[in-house]
Amino acid sequence: MGIVGLKPFTYAFKQIKVEDLNQLSQEYPVESPEYREQLEKDLIYVCTFGLDDELRPEVPANVQHIRYGETEDSSVFKNNQVNVRMVTGDHIGTAKNVAV
């Protein structure tokens, strides 16, 4: 097994009448923040859980290629590397393991 991160999910729900949902979609565009805010207001929390999310096998080699211009560890460009910064919603440990 490769590097695994834990992807968190939270489950919540809200009962809403079809008529109220239709009214909401007439008041706000479905993709708007206002629509989402109204739809997500007063949710009932059920649980939070995590799923194993294995790192795709090609990611470390891709980061290596971006950093050194090639995927070999014996790169002649080690002194001229590009500093890779990862922006992720994942746990910091996952990002550190990817950054080879």
The domain segmentation of the chain, as residue ranges, is 1-54, 56-100
Distance (Å, rounded) from C-alpha 93 to C-alpha 88?
11
User: Among all chains, which residue has been given the structure tokens 């993709």?
Assistant: 31
Contact 92, 99 (CB under 8 A): no
User: Tell me, what DSSP letter sits at residue 55?
Assistant: P
Give phi and psi for 80, each to the nearest 5. -115, 40
Residue 90 amino acid letter: D
Crossing angle of helices 33-40 and 18-27, in 10° steps, is: 160
Mean pLDDT confidence for 29-51: 91
The band of 45, judged by pLDDT with boundaries at 50, 70 and 90, is very high
Confidence check: pLDDT of 88 > 90: no
Confidence check: pLDDT of 77 > 80: no
Look at residue 57 in the predicted model and tell me its pLDDT: 79
pTM attached to this predicted model = 0.47
